[in-house]
Amino acid sequence: MPGKTLIGKIIEQHLVAGKATAGEEAKIRIDQTLCQDATGTMAFLELEAMGVDRVRTELSVQYVDHNTSQFGPENQNDHLYLQSVTAAKGVYFSRPGNGICHQVHLERFGQPGKTLLGSDSHTPTNGGIGMLAIGAGGLDVAVAMAGGPFKMVVPHVIGVKLTGRLQPWVAAKDVILHLLSILSTKGNVGTAIEYFGPGVETLSVPERATITNMGAELGVTASVFPSDSVTRAFLKAERREDVWRELKADDHAIYERVIEIRLGELEPLAACPSSPDNVRPVAELAGLPVSQVVIGSCTNSSLKDLTMVAEILGKHPTHPRTSVAIAPGSRQVLEMLAEGGGLAHLIGGGARLLEAACGPCIGQGMSPATGEATVRTFNRNFAGRTGTRGDQCYLVSTETAVATAIRGELTDPRQLGIPYPSWRMPQSFKTDDSMIIEPPPEGTNVDIVRKDTIGDPPYSKAFPESMEGEVLVCLGDKITTDHIMPAGTYLKLRSNIPEYAKVVFSCFNEEGQPTFAERAASVRDGGRCGIIVAGESYGQGSSREHAAICPMYLGIRAVLALSIERIHAANLVNFGILPLLFKDPEDRGHLAVGDTIDIPDVRSQLQVKQPLHVTVRKDRGRATELMCRHTLSEEDIATVLAGGRLNIMKQRL
Q: Which one of residues 188, 543, 563, 647 is an interface residue with ligand MIC (CB under 6 A)?
A: 543
Segment near ligand MIC (CB under 6 A), from 119-127, 254-262, 419-427, 454-462? 119-127
Residue closer to ligand MIC (CB basis): 217 or 587: 217
Instruction: Tell me whether residue 172 or residue 612 sits nearer to ligand SF4 (CB atom).
Output: 172
Q: Which residues bind ligand SF4 (CB under 6 A)?
A: 66, 100, 120, 122, 297-298, 358, 361-362, 379
370 CB burial (10 A radius; 0-12, 13-18, 19+): exposed
Stretch binding ligand MIC (CB under 6 A), from 118-126, 392-400, 452-460, 613-621: 118-126
CA-to-CA distance for 318 and 403, rounded, in angstroms? 9
Specify the residue, 285 or 362, whose C-beta has the smaller distance to ligand MIC: 362
**Which of residues 205 and 529 has its CB atom nearest to ligand SF4 in the complex?**
205
What length does the chain have?
Answer: 653
Does 411 contact ligand MIC by CB under 6 A?
no
E-state strands within 200-256? 223-224
Nearer to ligand MIC, 66 or 519 (CB): 66
Contact map string, positions 35 to 74, toward ligand MIC, x by CB under 6 A: ---xx--------------------------x--------
Partner interacting with residue 100 (select from ligand MIC, ligand SF4, none; CB below 5-8 Å by kind): ligand SF4
In the bound state with ligand SF4, the residue whose beta carbon lies nearer, of 274 and 460, is 274
Q: Would you state the torsion angle of the CA atoms of residues 45, 46, 49, 51, taken in this order, to the nearest 10 degrees?
A: -100
Distances, alpha carbon 113 to alpha carbons 30, 105, 127, 219, 249, in Å: 11, 15, 9, 22, 12
Stretch that binds ligand MIC, among 52-60, 514-522, 538-546, 627-635 (CB under 6 A): 538-546
Identify which of residues 379 and 460 has a Cβ nearer to ligand MIC in the complex: 379
Question: C-beta of 68: minimal distance to ligand SF4 in Å?
Answer: 11
**Could you give the C-alpha distances from 611 to 505, 580, 595, in angstroms and in order?**
29, 10, 21
Tell me if the bond preceding 84 is cis, omega within 30° of 0.
no
Residue 39 binding partner per list ligand MIC, ligand SF4, none, with a CB distance cut-off of 5 to 8 Å that depends on partner kind: ligand MIC
**Site size toward ligand MIC, by CB under 6 A:** 12
Alpha carbons 156 and 134: distance in angstroms, whole number:
15
Nearer to ligand SF4, 358 or 523 (CB): 358
Measured from the CB atom, the residue of 43 and 87 that comes closer to ligand MIC is 43
542 is a contact residue toward ligand MIC (CB under 6 A):
yes
Which of ligand MIC, ligand SF4, none does residue 544 bind (CB under 5 to 8 Å by kind)? ligand MIC
Cα three-residue angle 35-37-41, rounded to 5 degrees? 90
> Which region holds residue 96: left if phi is over 0, alpha if psi is between -120 and 50, else beta?
beta
Residue 121 beta carbon to ligand MIC: minimum distance, rounded to whole angstroms: 4
* Minimum separation from the CB atom of position 492 to ligand MIC (A): 12
Q: CB of 232: closest distance to ligand SF4 in angstroms?
A: 26
The option from ligand SF4, ligand MIC, none interacting with 543 (CB < 5 to 8 A, set by class) reads: ligand MIC
Least distance from ligand MIC to the Cβ atom of residue 321, Å: 28
Q: Least distance (Å) from ligand SF4 to the CB of residue 623?
A: 44
Please, what's the b/e burial string for 434-450 (b: 16 or more CB within 10 A of its CB; e: otherwise)? Answer: ebbbebeeeeeeeebeb
- CA dist., res. 306 & res. 323, Å (int): 17
* C-alpha dihedral (31, 37, 38, 42), degrees to nearest 10: 70
Give min distance, CB of 298 to ligand SF4, in A: 3
* Least distance (Å) between residue 303 CB and ligand SF4: 16
Q: How far is the CB of 621 from ligand MIC (least distance, A)?
A: 40
297 binds, among ligand MIC, ligand SF4, none (CB under 5 to 8 A by kind): ligand SF4
Please tell me whether residue 487 binds ligand MIC under the rule CB under 6 A: yes
Q: How far apart are CA 572 and CA 567, in angstroms?
A: 9
Find all residues with CB under 8 Å of 472, minimum gap 6, and list them: 516, 519, 520, 523, 530, 531, 532, 556, 593
- Residue 479 as a binder of ligand MIC (CB under 6 A): the answer is no
Q: According to the binding rule CB under 6 A, does residue 362 interact with ligand MIC?
A: yes
Whole-number minimum distance, CB 121 to ligand SF4, in Å?
A: 7
| 404 near ligand MIC (CB under 6 A) | no
* Residues 543, 483 contacting (CB under 8 angstroms): no
Question: Shortest distance, CB of residue 531 to ligand MIC, whole angstroms?
Answer: 24
Which letter, b or e, does each residue of 201-237 get, where b requires 16 or more Cβ atoms within 10 Å of its Cβ? eebbbbbbbbbbbbbbbbbbbbbbbbbbebbbbbbbb
Helix axis angle for 634-642 and 566-574, nearest 10°, is 50
Is-contact 218 182, C-beta < 8 A?
no
Nearest residue to 94 via CA among 65, 53, 135, 124: 65
Min separation Cβ 535 and ligand MIC, Å: 21
Establish if 122 lies at the interface with ligand MIC (CB under 6 A): yes
Q: Which is nearer to ligand MIC, 125 or 647 (CB)?
A: 125
Strand (E) positions, 315-388? 323-326, 352-353, 373-376
With CA atoms as reference, report the closest residue to 151 among 16, 22, 262, 263. 16
| Neighbouring C-beta atoms of residue 2, cutoff 10 Å | 7
* Contacts of 414 by beta carbon, 8 Å cutoff, 6+ apart: 167, 168, 169, 170, 267, 268
CA distances 4 to 116, 224, 252, Å, are 21, 14, 7
> Applying CB under 6 A, which residues contact ligand MIC?
38-39, 66, 120-122, 362, 487, 541-544
